Amino acid sequence: MSDELLDVCERVLSRVGEAEAEVTITSGTDALTRFATSFIHQNVTDAARRIHLRVAIDGRVAESVGNQTDDEALDRLVRSGLDAARLRPVDPGWPGLAPPASAPSIEHWDDATAAAAPADRAERIGAFVSAAGDLETAGFCSTVGETVAFANSAGQRVAGRTSVAILDGIARTGTSDGSGRAASVRLGDLDGNSVGREAIRRARESADATDLEPGRHEVVLSPSCVVNLLGFLAIYGFNGRAVDEGRSFAHLGEAQFDSSISLADDVAHPLAVGIGFDAEGTPKRRVELVLDGVTSGLVHDRRTAKALGAESTGHAIAGAGPWGAMPANLVLEAGAVSPDDLIAGVERGLLVTDFWYTRILDPRTQVVTGLTRNGVWMIEDGRIVRPVTNLRFTQSFLEALGPGQVCGVGSDLTLVGGASFGVGAWVVPSLHLASWNFTGGARG
Amino acid sequence: MFEFAEAAVEAAIAAGARYADARVIDRRHESMGARNGEVEELSQEASVGIGVRALIGSGWGFYSTADLTPDSSRQAGTQAAAIARASASVAGLDLELTPVEVRQDSWRNAVAEDPMSVPLAEKGDLLVAATRTLKEHGADVALAGYDIWDTTKWLVSSEGHRIDQHVVECGAQLNATANGESETQRRSYPGIRGQYGTRGWELVRELDLAGNAARIAEEARELLTAPTCPSHEAIDLIIGSEQMALQIHESVGHAVELDRILGWEAAFAGTSWLDLSQIGSLRFGSDLMNVTADATLPGALGSFGYDDEGTPAHPVDIVRDGTWVGVLSGRDSAALAGLGSSGGAVRGDGYNRLPMVRMTNVGLLPGQSSLEEMIAATDDGILMDTNRSWSIDDKRLNFQFGCEIGWEIKNGKRGRMIKNPTYTGIGPRFWGSLDMLGNESEWTFWGTPNCGKGQPQQIGHTGHPSVPCRFRGVRVGVTG
């Protein structure tokens, strides 16, 4: 597959002439089976293909995108890009093309997942639904197999492929929902019965919840919440462009986090998914964003690397525009404490399963508002004592992880699929935090 | 293109589907972005493909491909039926479809100036001039951009629909970010999501980006030294029409989507606090509240001739004199809910997405007051406008929204500017406190080009007719 795609890349480049050009072709199968009210109601497969071309004529840059590979379509794609570039002013920030370099030999791939049939996904969903017994269920099972080829007129040629399977669902009691989820490079790793039983346990244990007065509480956050939290730090903070524009909180070399926090972007991590190069063809490399609480690094594309006198880290995102580079493979270093022991360490606080509809109020201070979902429980003297109804919070995510604020880091390193902002799947454990500002009940 | 769609539908029926439809969609998208006086991005995207929907038993099967030949179209139809059949291992009751008149028709929206034909250099000059003015007037980061979509669809169904539509949409926006010691402030024009419609480039010209840039940049900088919005448990709140569009979208539009009410979105987008047994009797808001979903409004972003199931665009009453009376629906959800006909609100995001219930133009009908009259009638209150943050629970009941800018109102006059204004509430309680409603001269058809829903995620284009409103006793100034 990758050779075929590289051939198409060559056909595109052969039409470009003297201009600088880079072309990325993404091709594969993106399939998702959805269930609600305990039956499959939507079942989709997209034989996806996308050709992304960026050209530069003496620093005049334009992009064109298509999905057809016949000669006429490729002629149109290239003509569109070149015509647009000729009309552009010179881009003073144009960093030029990535030089030839080999990408890390990473292959997060499983043939069976990439070729999964609707019946394979339905089997997992059937197990999830059966596990729920008389409880209503909803969710999805997805399988993706994607091959990416990149070529540029500077001589860079790279290709890679990745697969990912996700099973994610809820069980519903009538007064509560509980969630269960799993993600892996291999569909075969996903056990519908096990994921379903987790959702059912959470749903049953959070039924008939009672209200809790808003206020500051200790929290134990599940990996799903932690991914949500880290998403805001990554997108708005550890991002060369945000730093360059003065919008980021990140100050390299400062102890902005608790010493128990070490955060990296690492596509080579054994639990990760993804390919070994970015949208500009730059090989991805591990970036230490936070080391023992000290802000240590940023992710860059070629533009922000040039602006800040750094090197691209291989985190360019096609079409990211004013957002800049983004981490696609965050890994929060695990601790040695099991999730149960994190709970045991709480004198009085809350266990939160999921966050919902989190939105940033100020990128610099990282104040975010959002709600809890799919199960919240009161913890007293190290034991879960009762479920509580959903709460709204308004909390600085930066302060929540600040020095002295992290009471424990879980050992439950988990791949959370469909991570925040759709830029990847991240690997994180649970966290026990000293304080979380709940500002209202979900009922007002 | 009809021949590809017909081949796909025939193949799906031959493979056992009891209903099938297919959409061939040819879409061009052009976007340009300028930053700090330079054009930084220009992208032109063209995609064409076919998506086939087949119904067997209780579920839809959907298959899409960019390969557009008679053979690949037939294969797509066969695949869609096979996918639907695979769902039978976890099946529910057979899904029915409400009847709809079968039509063969063409439709296109009115465009005075084709946006794709406006020279790129002219469009670039507009953005460059606007961002230079933003910089000159104090913006640390000055951004401006536009988007144009030019979409042609060919729909064929196994019931005999044969409809082609050509929809042109465009719009633009600018925003200024000012950096302070420990915070950033942003102002956007004309709104956080710009302004978009089913119109030509004339919409962008009317916005007068360059003419508004200086004010926007100066406001962003002024916000850095403005006092923070005070906290009040209950105060009179006047909301400008741009923020009202968001308020309608989040707390009314999504709440009345029938697929959510039926639980089809329970695990992701969520459900709704509304119970179908209460339609026609539930109090949603005050008597002043009248909301319609009307896909026939000329120029509004959620307008079309037919939805993606071939249902003709038509207005639907959602809230009448404060009472909940209607929903956003499609043929399958309407049938399951026992409604007689589809609300014509089903659309897909391109050829490769399964059509689903989406907002059309969900908006408030205007009232009698002007914004100035609302201010004059308020002794102690706050005025907020331009959305900055939005968060609402999965039942669409509990919301907290932030705005870019606010002003205190004292004794009927607009007072000092305040920053970081937020307000929070519970849908029906909040809407029940509506006591002044903007008049027709302030009625604006706001367009939201980025409404996310569904799995895989789909981006919808929705419209929200809106006016300024006053609400009584609202909690404001929630801080972290």
Residue B450 near residue B193, CB atoms below 8 Å = yes
Contacts of A162 (CB under 8 A, 6+ apart): A107, A108, A109, A144, A145, A146, A185, A273, A274, A275
Residue with tokens 């394979």: A120
- Which tokens belong to B41? 């991005």
Q: Report the range of poorest mean pLDDT among A87-91, A325-329, B51-55, B286-290.
A: A87-91
Residues of B in contact with A129 (CB under 8 A): 90
- Number of residues that this document lists for chain A: 444
Verify whether the Cβ–Cβ distance B124 to A38 is below 8 Å.
no
B412 and B379 Cβ atoms separated by less than 8 Å: yes
B453 closest CA partner among B250, B166, B191: B250
**Sign of dihedral through CA atoms A236, B126, A19, B28?**
positive
Instruction: Choose the closest CB to B35 out of A142, A322, A367.
Output: A322
Output the pLDDT for position B40: 85
Task: Return d(Cα A385, Cα B310) in angstroms, integer.
Answer: 54
CB-CB neighbours of A270 under 10 Å = 10
**Are the beta carbons of B46 and A47 separated by less than 8 Å?**
no
State yes or no: pLDDT of A419 exceeds 60: no
Cα distance between residue A395 and residue A377, in whole Å: 19
The secondary structure of chain B in percent helix, strand, coil, rounded to multiples of 5, reads 25, 40, 35
Q: Using CB atoms, pick whichever of B95, B426, B480 lies closest to residue A395.
A: B480
Of B43, B394, B480, the CB nearest to A394: B480
CB contact under 8 A, B426 and A76: no
- With bands split at pLDDT 50, 70 and 90, how would you rate the model's confidence at A287? very high
Query: Does the beta carbon of A326 lie under 8 angstroms from any beta carbon of chain B?
Result: no
Q: What is the DSSP string of B301-354?
A: TT--SB-TTSPBP-EEEEEETTEE---B--HHHHHHTT-SS--S-EE-SSTTS-
Residue numbers in A near B44 (CB within 8 A):
62-65, 80-81, 84
- Choose, out of A38, A42, A359, A376, the residue to mutate when testing the contact with B (most B CBs < 10 Å): A42
Asked whether the predicted pLDDT for residue B373 surpasses 70, the reply is yes
Tell me the mean pLDDT in the region B145-166. 98
Mean pLDDT (chain B, rounded): 96
Interface contact A43-B84, CB threshold 8 A: yes
Dihedral angle over CA of A327, A333, A338, A344, nearest 10: -90
Mean pLDDT of A437-443: 83
Within an 8 Å CB–CB cutoff, is residue B143 touching chain A?
yes
Element (H, E) at B425: strand B422-426
Tokens coding B171: 């719009």
Q: Is the pLDDT of residue A423 over 50?
A: no
Our CA-based measurement puts residue B439 at a distance from the nearest CA of chain A, in whole angstroms, of 30
Mean of pLDDT values over A369-377: 95
Position A442 confidence tier, pLDDT thresholds 50, 70, 90 = low
B140 touches chain A (CB under 8 A): yes
**Contacts (Cβ under 8 Å, ≥6 apart) of A190:** A124, A141, A165, A166, A167, A182, A183, A184
Contact criterion met (CB < 8 Å) for A80 and B46: yes
Of the candidates A138, A279, A116, the one whose C-alpha atom is nearest the C-alpha of residue A188 is A116
What's the whole-model pTM score? 0.94
**Residue of chain B minimizing CA distance to A167:** B267
B6: part of which helix (H) or strand (E)? helix B2-14
Dihedral sign, Cα of residue A265, residue A268, residue A272, residue A275: positive
β-strand B141-157 against A330-332: which pairing, if any? unpaired
Q: Is the pLDDT of residue B26 over 90?
A: yes
Sign for the pseudo-dihedral over CA of B325, B327, B332, B333 = negative
Cα–Cα distance for residue pair A32/B352, rounded to 1 Å: 12
Q: Using CB atoms within 10 Å of the CB of residue B379, give its burial: 0 to 12 exposed, 13 to 18 middle, 19+ buried.
A: exposed
**B161: helix, coil or strand?**
coil
Residue B173 Cα, gap to closest chain A Cα (Å): 14
Give residues 341 to 360 of B whose Cβ lies within 8 Å of A: 352-354, 356
Residue B39 with chain A: CB contacts under 8 Å = 88-89, 91
- Helix and strand numbers, DSSP H then E, in chain B: 10, 23
Do B41 and A321 make contact, defined as CB atoms within 8 angstroms?
A: yes
CA–CA dist A172, B271 (Å, integer): 12
Q: Yes or no: say if B187 and B176 are a contact pair by the CB < 8 Å rule.
A: yes
Q: Is the pLDDT of residue A418 over 70?
A: no
A358 touches chain B (CB under 8 A): yes
Backbone angles phi, psi at B197, to 5 degrees: -160, 170
Query: What are A149-195's pLDDT values in tens digits?
Result: 999 999 999 999 999 999 999 999 999 999 999 999 999 999 999 99
B92 touching chain A per CB within 8 A: yes
Query: pLDDT-based confidence at A444, cuts 50/70/90?
Result: low
Q: Report percent pLDDT > 70 for chain B.
A: 100
User: Shortest Cα distance from A432 to chain B (angstroms)?
Assistant: 19
Return the number of other C-beta atoms located less than 10 Å from residue B281's C-beta: 9
Nearest to B235 by CA among B53, B430, B417: B430
CB contact under 8 A, B400 and A394: yes
Residue B273 binned pLDDT confidence (cut-offs 50, 70, 90): very high
Q: Does A202 touch chain B (CB under 8 A)?
A: no
The alpha carbon of residue A140 is apart from the nearest alpha carbon of chain B, in Å, by 8
Cβ contact A118–B480 (<8 Å): no
Which residues are registered as beta bridge partners of B356?
Answer: B347
Contact status of A115 with chain B (Cβ, < 8 Å) = no
Given this model, what pLDDT does residue B371 score?
A: 97
**B340 Cβ under 8 Å from any chain A Cβ:** no
pLDDT in tens, A226-238: 999 999 999 899 9
B428 in contact with A at a CB cutoff of 8 Å? no
Q: Is the Cβ of A173 closer than 8 Å to some Cβ of chain B?
A: no
CA distances from B423 to A215, B68, B234, B403, B442 (A): 18, 50, 10, 9, 23
Chain B residue with CA closest to A85: the answer is B42
Assess whether pLDDT exceeds 50 at residue B302.
yes
Q: How far apart are CA B282 and CA B277, in angstroms?
A: 9
User: A81 at the B interface (CB within 8 A)?
Assistant: yes
> B interface mutation test: which of A362, A371, A389 has the most B CBs within 10 A?
A362
User: Are A359 and B390 in contact (CB < 8 Å)?
Assistant: yes
What domains does chain B contain, in order, with CATH numbers? 2-225 (3.30.2290.10), 232-476 (no CATH)
Domain A2-203 grouped into CATH 3.30.43.10: no
Ramachandran region, residue B160 (left: φ > 0; alpha: ψ -120 to 50; beta: rest): left
Q: CB neighbours of B60 closer than 8 A, spacing ≥ 6?
A: A41, A42, A43, B53, B54, B84, B95, B332, B354
Residue B227 gets which letter from DSSP? P
What confidence score (pLDDT) does residue A292 get? 98
A285: left (phi over 0), alpha (psi -120 to 50) or beta: beta
pLDDT band at A422; cut points 50, 70, 90? very low
Cα–Cα distance for residue pair B467/B248, rounded to 1 Å: 11
Residue B392 contacts A where some CB pair is shorter than 8 Å: yes
| Domain extent listing, chain A | 2-203, 210-444
Q: What was the pLDDT predicted at A301?
A: 95
In terms of CA atoms, which chain A residue is nearest residue B250?
A357
Model pLDDT for residues B190-208, shown as the tens digit of each residue: 999 999 999 999 999 999 9
Structure tokens at B136: 């000159």
Closest-CA residue of chain B to A303: B40
pLDDT given for residue B182 in this prediction:
85
Contact list in B for residue A42 (CB cut-off 8 A) is 59-60, 62, 264, 354, 356
Q: What is the pLDDT of residues B90-134, one digit of tens each?
A: 999 999 999 999 999 999 999 999 999 999 999 999 999 999 999
pLDDT at A420 over 60: no
- Asked if B61's CB is within 8 angstroms of A362's CB, the reply is no
Angle subtended by helix axes A192-205 and A118-131, to nearest 10: 40
Q: Confidence band (pLDDT; 50, 70, 90) for A424?
A: low
CA B38 to chain centre: 30
Q: How far apart are the first and last CA of chain A?
A: 54
Strands A136-152 and A157-172: antiparallel
CB B382 within 8 A of CB B240: no
Q: Quickly count: other Cβ atoms within 10 Å of residue A79's Cβ.
A: 12
Structural contact between residues A209 and A388, judged by C-beta atoms closer than 8 angstroms? yes
Burial A104-135 (b: 16+ CB within 10 A, else e): bebebbbeebbebebbbbbbbbbbbbebbeeb
Residues of B in Cβ contact (< 8 Å) with A122:
86-87, 89-90
pLDDT in tens, A323-367: 889 998 999 999 999 999 999 999 999 999 999 999 998 889 999
A4 touches chain B (CB under 8 A): no
Three-state DSSP state, B167: strand
Kindly report the three-state secondary structure assignment for every residue of chain A. CHHHHHHHHHHHHCCCCCCEEEEEEEEEEEEEEEEECCEEEEEEEEEEEEEEEEEEECCEEEEEEECCCCHHHHHHHHHHHHHHHHCCCCCCCCCCCCCCCCCCCCCECCHHHHCCCHHHHHHHHHHHHHHCCCCEEEEEEEEEEEEEEEEECCCCEEEEEEEEEEEEEEEECCCCEEEEEEEECCHHHCCHHHHHHHHHHHHHHCCCCECCCCEEEEEEECHHHHHHHHHHHHHHCCEHHHHHCCCCCCCCCCCCCCCCCCEEECCCCCCCCCCCECCCCCECCCEEEEECCEECCCECCHHHHHHHCCCCCCCCCCCCHHHCCCCCCEEECCCCECHHHHHHCCCEEEEEEEEEEEEEEECCCCEEEEEEEEEEEEEECCEEEEEECCEEEEEEHHHHCCCCCEEEEECCCEEECCCHHHCCCEEECCEEEEEEEEEEECCC
Parallel, antiparallel or unpaired: strands A39-57 and B356-357: unpaired
Place of tokens 């709440």: B255
As a dihedral over the C-alpha atoms of residue B392, residue B395, residue B397, residue B400, rounded to 10 degrees, the angle is -10
Q: Tokens at residue A249, please?
A: 């909180």
Residue A100 φ/ψ, nearest 5 degrees: -60, 135
- Shortest Cα distance from B218 to chain A (angstroms)? 18
